[in-house]
Amino acid sequence: MSAKAVSCTIKSPVALQIGDVVSDSSRPGVYITDITLAEPVNIQEISFKNYYTAYLTVRLQRREDGSSSKWVTCLRNYCLMSNPHAEAGSHDYFSIYRQQMSTEPDNVTTVRLILRQPSSEWLNFSIQEINIYPCAKEDSERDVPVWLSTLTPVDEPLDLNGLPDPETVSSSIQQMWALTEMMQASQTAASIGRFDVEGSYDVKLLSYT
C-alpha cells in the first residue's frame, strides 16, 4: 500500500539521566523522542531507520471521546538489536504495524518513542527517518465503474425460450453502434459559412432561417 506518510513534528530527543545533566559525564542510556501529529490519526504503520538503539518502547497519546487524552503503551521493549554490544540490527530499517501493537492506535495525537541502549560501547544512539502511515480510508480507493461490476453473468440462467438469439442480435447492435461511432468520429468542424457575412454572423440571416 502506498499510503502517504502523515506530516508530523519530531522533537529532538531528550536524555533521561540521574543527576545533573551538565556535570555528569556519563553517557545517557535512555532517550525519549516525542512526535506530535497535526490531527488525530489511525496509525497503520510506523517506519524508521535504526542507529544503534537496542530497545524501543512506543507510547501513544490517544484522543478519547470528550476531548480527554490518555497515554497508553502499545509496544514495550521491542528488541531492535539482538545483542546490544554487537552490530547486528544497528543500522536496520524497521516497520511497526498496528497488528503488533497491544492497543489500537486510533485517534492518536502524540507518539512517544523511548529508546534504550544499555551497552556502553556506543557513543550515540537514535532512530532516524521516522514516518507514520495512516490507515487507508475505504472511500479513498478508486471507484470501480458501475458497468464493470455488472459484467459477471447472472446466477440463474435466463429463460430464452421463444426469444431471438442474443448472439445474433448483439452482433447486429454492435455493428450499428460501431457505424454510428465512426460517423460521429469523422465529423469535422468545417462549415459552409451559411450565416457568415464577411466573416461574422449577420443577425437578420439567423432570424430568417
User: Is 168 an interacting residue with respect to another protein (CB under 8 A)?
Assistant: yes
Q: Which residue has the cell 524497521?
A: 94
Rg value, the chain, Cα: 33
3-state SS string over 32-98?
EEEEEEEEEECEEEEEEEEECCCEEEEEEEEECCCCCEEEEEEEEEEECCCCCCCCCCCCCEEEEEH
User: Is 155 an interacting residue with respect to another protein (CB under 8 A)?
Assistant: no
- Quote the CA–CA distance of 124 and 108 in Å, as a whole number: 29
Choices 15-23, 55-63, 84-92, 144-152 (CB under 8 A): range interacting with another protein: 144-152
Q: Which residue has the cell 559525564?
A: 25
Q: Tell me the three cell numbers of residue 27.
A: 553517557
Report, in Å, the least distance between residue 205 CB and another protein.
11
User: Is 86 an interacting residue with respect to another protein (CB under 8 A)?
Assistant: no
Residue 120 CB partners (closer than 8 Å, separation 6+): 27
User: Is 144 an interacting residue with respect to another protein (CB under 8 A)?
Assistant: no
User: Is 18 an interacting residue with respect to another protein (CB under 8 A)?
Assistant: no
Q: Which is nearer to another protein, 88 or 206 (CB)?
A: 206
- Quote the CA–CA distance of 58 and 112 in Å, as a whole number: 6
User: Is 140 an interacting residue with respect to another protein (CB under 8 A)?
Assistant: no
- How many residues sit close enough to another protein to count as binding (CB under 8 A)? 41
User: Is 25 an interacting residue with respect to another protein (CB under 8 A)?
Assistant: no
User: Is 36 an interacting residue with respect to another protein (CB under 8 A)?
Assistant: no
User: Is 202 an interacting residue with respect to another protein (CB under 8 A)?
Assistant: no
User: Is 159 an interacting residue with respect to another protein (CB under 8 A)?
Assistant: yes
Q: Tell me the three cell numbers of residue 151.
A: 459484467
**Residues that bind another protein in the complex, under the rule CB under 8 A:** 145, 147-148, 150-151, 153-154, 158-170, 172-177, 179-184, 186-188, 190-195
